[in-house]
């Protein structure tokens, strides 16, 4: 079976019959090239080891972009935007892009921001609703965080949809990670059960870059930029002292994309530890012995560890969950810091160990230039999809194109790094870490 085997059809609220306002921005007499047809597709899997005789099903995504006809009447439409989960560079860029596209291009004037994530829909929290317009989003791309705030934790789906009904909302834009995508799917299903005409459009957000069927998530490029600064600092500290060791903990609960990419961007790391590849701590082939081998040979070392790495090293205990339902991870960074210190103390080898955790600095910063441009595309394509009456989708970047991915195909799944793939093999080549794991 093809590993990409799912339905890619995008649900719609009804037939799009209204001529798009974007036509006014096309000079008369000129061919209309800016509109995208629903028949325009992007092949999901562009690589294959072989083509079998009976392989006649090609899976493809619907291409994102403006449609020539739209479903909603802009003069009567109300739109709602909410940001959920952890902070991420680019959240304000997304908000600003959606608001400016709705206001200036589609002439939608009723745009509302829900404060503090899904809590903002629940009356008992008493969070205000914010009117959004070009003036209220002026300059927000230069600040980190989210002007709408955020929150974690599940909320009653029925009450959320009740709120949308009371607001007479037509389009709901949700910006968030895997938990938000699961919630968005449930919200869309409840809307469908009630036979409401509300479009639900999700824009995936995660610094970990681990959302399924999303090749790149906004904020990741900025996170790599800042992570490289931490690696530079750790390297400078390590080489400045005899037997210097720099230990950096980066984000990556279940996937090591940030740790691996940062290591390749700033090739000063000697060890990269990720969730997808288990490692042992002690023994002749354990990490601590490998680190000792490195110190003996080169007198310094730089280690990058993703926050979800090495969870197998902790004693079995009852799992705890955060308000969003995620397993609370053990702190591998501080754990390794203590174990490294104990190991070298027992060997009577003096070391100078520096520990760096830039996680909260990274996630709350403004987006860099690349991410800002990327957010602009995502926000505008989210608006195009919603205005066309499409629903229950997320705007994704796939095979260098912006596409519509059904929530059913992505929600509840996770993208992981292939330990045999090019990215991880490149990390092994760049660090040379395997050379220090010797018998």
In the structure encoding, which two tokens stand for residue 394, read together?
């997320």
Domain boundaries 18-217+365-410, CATH class? alpha beta
CB–CB of 62/12 below 8 Å? Answer: no
Cα(391)–Cα(14) distance, integer angstroms: 10
Cα(168)–Cα(292) distance, integer angstroms: 64
Predicted structure pTM score: 0.93
Cα(210)–Cα(414) distance, integer angstroms: 6
The set of catalytic residues is 208
Query: What is the pLDDT at residue 23?
Result: 77
Same CATH topology for 18-217+365-410 and 220-364+420-436? yes
CB–CB of 394/50 below 8 Å? Answer: no
Question: Per-residue pLDDT tens for 42-97?
Answer: 999 877 655 544 455 789 999 999 999 999 999 999 999 999 999 999 999 999 99
Mean pLDDT lowest for which of 57-61, 256-260, 267-271, 274-278?
57-61
Question: Per-residue pLDDT tens for 237-260?
Answer: 999 999 999 999 999 999 999 999
Is 319 a residue whose pLDDT tops 90?
no
- Type and span of the H or E element at 424: helix 422-431
Query: What is the pLDDT at residue 262?
Result: 98
Which of helix, strand or coil describes residue 70?
Answer: strand
Question: Nearest Cα to 380, choosing from 27, 34, 11?
Answer: 34
Instruction: Write down the domain spans for the chain.
Output: 18-217+365-410, 220-364+420-436
Backbone φ and ψ for 363, nearest 5 degrees, come out as: -70, -20
Mean pLDDT lowest for which of 40-44, 256-260, 270-274, 434-438?
434-438
Mode of pairing for the β-strands spanning 271-273 and 60-63:
unpaired
Cα(120)–Cα(73) distance, integer angstroms: 26
CA dihedral 305, 275, 368, 84 (to 10 degrees): -120
Question: Per-residue pLDDT tens for 168-203?
Answer: 999 999 999 999 999 999 999 999 999 999 999 999
Q: Residue 372: which pLDDT band, with cuts at 50, 70 and 90?
A: very high
Length of the chain: 439
Is 119 a residue whose pLDDT tops 50?
yes
Question: Per-residue pLDDT tens for 393-420?
Answer: 999 999 999 999 999 999 989 999 999 9
Between CA 110 and CA 113, with CA 112 as vertex, the angle to 5 degrees is 160
Sign of the Cα torsion 363, 367, 368, 374 reads: positive
- Residue in the block written with tokens 């100078």: 352
Measured CA to CA in angstroms, residue 29 lies from 23, 26, 32, 37, 106 at distances of: 12, 9, 9, 20, 22
CATH of domain 220-364+420-436: 3.40.50.460
Other Cβ atoms less than 10 A from the Cβ of 387: the count is 31
Residue 19, CA atoms < 13 Å, CB-side half-sphere? 4
Other Cβ atoms less than 10 A from the Cβ of 229: the count is 15
Backbone φ and ψ for 162, nearest 5 degrees, come out as: -55, -45
């Amino acid at each position: 079976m093809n590993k990409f085997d799912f339905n890619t059809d995008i649900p719609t609220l009804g037939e799009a019959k209204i001529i798009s306002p974007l036509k006014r921005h096309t000079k008369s007499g000129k061919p209309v090239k800016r509109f995208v047809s629903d028949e325009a597709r992007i092949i999901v899997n562009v690589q294959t080891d072989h083509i079998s005789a009976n392989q006649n099903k090609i899976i493809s995504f619907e291409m994102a972009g403006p449609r020539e006809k739209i479903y909603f009447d802009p003069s009567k439409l109300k739109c709602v935007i909410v940001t959920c989960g952890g902070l991420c560079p680019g959240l304000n860029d997304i908000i600003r892009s959606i608001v400016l596209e709705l206001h200036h291009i589609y002439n939608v004037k009723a745009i509302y921001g829900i404060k503090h994530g899904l809590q903002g829909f629940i009356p008992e929290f008493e969070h205000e609703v914010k009117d959004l317009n070009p003036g209220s989003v002026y300059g927000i791309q230069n600040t980190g965080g989210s002007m709408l705030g955020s929150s974690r934790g599940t909320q009653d789906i029925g009450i959320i949809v009740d709120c949308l009904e009371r607001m007479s909302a037509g389009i709901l834009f949700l910006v968030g990670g895997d938990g938000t995508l699961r919630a968005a799917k449930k919200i869309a299903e409840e809307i469908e059960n009630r036979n409401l005409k509300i479009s639900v459009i999700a824009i995936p957000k995660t610094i970990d870059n681990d959302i399924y069927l999303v090749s790149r998530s906004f904020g990741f490029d900025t996170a790599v930029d800042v992570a490289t600064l931490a690696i530079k600092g750790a390297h400078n500290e390590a080489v400045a002292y005899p037997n210097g060791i720099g230990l950096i903990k980066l984000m990556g609960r279940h996937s090591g994309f940030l740790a691996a990419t940062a290591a390749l961007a700033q090739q000063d790391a000697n060890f990269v530890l990720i969730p997808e590849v288990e490692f042992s701590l002690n023994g002749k082939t354990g990490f601590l012995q490998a680190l000792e081998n490195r110190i003996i040979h080169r007198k310094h070392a730089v280690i990058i560890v993703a926050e979800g790495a090495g969870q197998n090293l902790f004693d079995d205990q009852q799992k705890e969950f955060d308000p969003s339902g995620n397993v609370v991870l053990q702190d591998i960074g501080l754990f390794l810091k203590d174990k490294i210190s104990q190991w070298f103390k027992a060997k009577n080898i003096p070391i100078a160990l520096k520990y760096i955790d830039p996680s909260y600095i990274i996630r709350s910063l403004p987006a860099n230039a690349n991410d800002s441009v990327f957010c602009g595309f995502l926000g505008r394509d989210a608006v195009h999809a919603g205005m066309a009456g499409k629903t229950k989708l997320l705007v994704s970047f796939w095979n260098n194109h912006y596409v519509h991915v059904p929530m059913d195909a992505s929600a509840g799944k996770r993208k992981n790094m292939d330990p045999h793939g090019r990215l991880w093999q490149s990390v092994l080549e760049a660090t040379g870490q395997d050379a220090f794991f010797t018998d």
